Every structure is written in structure tokens, then in C-alpha cells.
Structure 1
Amino acid sequence: MNELDGWIAAAGAELGVAPDEVPTTAVLDVARDVAHNVLRPGAPVTAYLLGLAVGRGADPAEAAAKISALAQSWPGRASR
């Protein structure tokens, strides 16, 4: 178990979320796309938005794909 896995297990236990319910790679990919293509502070806020959407019934993979696509097409991306 690496440090991230340990953190997810501990934080998940505090919140009643099992580690296997966390799509870690998808969340990290979305955060990376937002941080690099939109703005860095948008990454954690977007991860929260993603969590809210999934909590309201959105498919995690579909929601992550939508947000990554939006971030990658964000205006001004090419000027960075």
C-alpha cells in the first residue's frame, strides 16, 4: 500500500466511504486537466463538484470524462 492508498483508506473510514468506491485515477486525471488547462485552484474545487455529481447519481467515469474534455477545450489553453 502506498501513501495515497493509506490516506484514502483513513479518510474514507472517517467519512464512511470504502477505498474501492474511490476512482482515484479518474479524480487525479480530472484534477490534472483542470490544474494545467484552466487554473490550479480549480482542481480541488472541481474534484468536489465531481463528488457532488456522483453523489447525486452521475456515473463517475462519464462525469470525469465530461469535465476533462471541458478542461482540455477551455479558452486560453493554447496561450499557456
Structure 2
Amino acid sequence: MSEIPEGLQEWVEFAAPQLGLDAAVVPVNELLGMTGVIAHSVVRPAAPISAYLLGLAVGSGAITSYEAGDALLRELAKAWEANA
């Protein structure tokens, strides 16, 4: 996704600090891309759940980086679709 929907970046900049996070580290475009793949490959409600799972995995240290988790979830979604 190349263009962030209107108001989304502003929402991130508003909400992130309230959660104790730096809005600058939120990979908005990448998250939209990953959740788009999951929504189309698995089922639409899996997209926000997957973003939450990724956040938990990175926050707990189970996944070493956002990028690693993003890549893994995209692979899993494609495998899910292939096996469906």
C-alpha cells in the first residue's frame, strides 16, 4: 500500500503516545500490507487479530523483530490459502 488513508497517520500519532509508544516506530504501510494479505488469503477478521498476535510476539520477544513476524505471517497466510 503506497498511500496511507486520510486520518490514519494522525490517529497513530494521537493514540501511540497514550499507550506509551513512539508513533514514529509504527510501520503503518507495512501493517496495512500485511493485514491486506491476511484479509484476502485467510478471512477478513483474521487481519486485526494477526496484527495483535504480531504485537504480542514482538513485545514478548518470541519474534525478534517486526520484520521477521511480518514475513512469517505473510508466509503463513499464503500457505493457508494454498491449503484451503
Q: What TM-score range do you get, normalising by the shorter chain?
A: 0.7 to 0.9
Q: Which residue type is aligned with residue 73 of structure 1? A: A
Would you say how many aligned residue pairs link Structure 1 and Structure 2? 75
Q: CA RMSD in A?
A: 1.1
User: Which segments of structure 1 move beyond 3 Å, counting only runs of 4 or more?
Assistant: none
- Name the counterpart of 1:52: 56
Deviation at 1:73, TM superposition (A): 1.8
Q: Which residue type is aligned with residue 48 of structure 2? A: P
Tell me, which stretches of 5 or more residues in structure 1 are unaligned? none
Report the Cα distance in structure 1 between the residues aligned to 2:24 and 2:10, rounded to whole angstroms: 12
Tell me, which stretches of 5 or more residues in structure 2 are unaligned? 1-5
Report which stretch shifted further, 10-19 or 22-31. Answer: 22-31
CA contact (8 A) 1:54 1:60 kept: yes
- Name the counterpart of 1:18: 22
Q: Secondary structure at the match of 1:40?
A: coil
- Name the counterpart of 1:36: 40
Q: Which residue type is aligned with residue 15 of structure 1? A: L
- Name the counterpart of 1:3: 7
Deviation at 1:13, TM superposition (A): 1.6
Deviation at 1:26, TM superposition (A): 2.0
Give the fraction of aligned pairs with identical amino acids, expressed as a percent: 39
Report which stretch shifted further, 54-63 or 35-44. Answer: 54-63
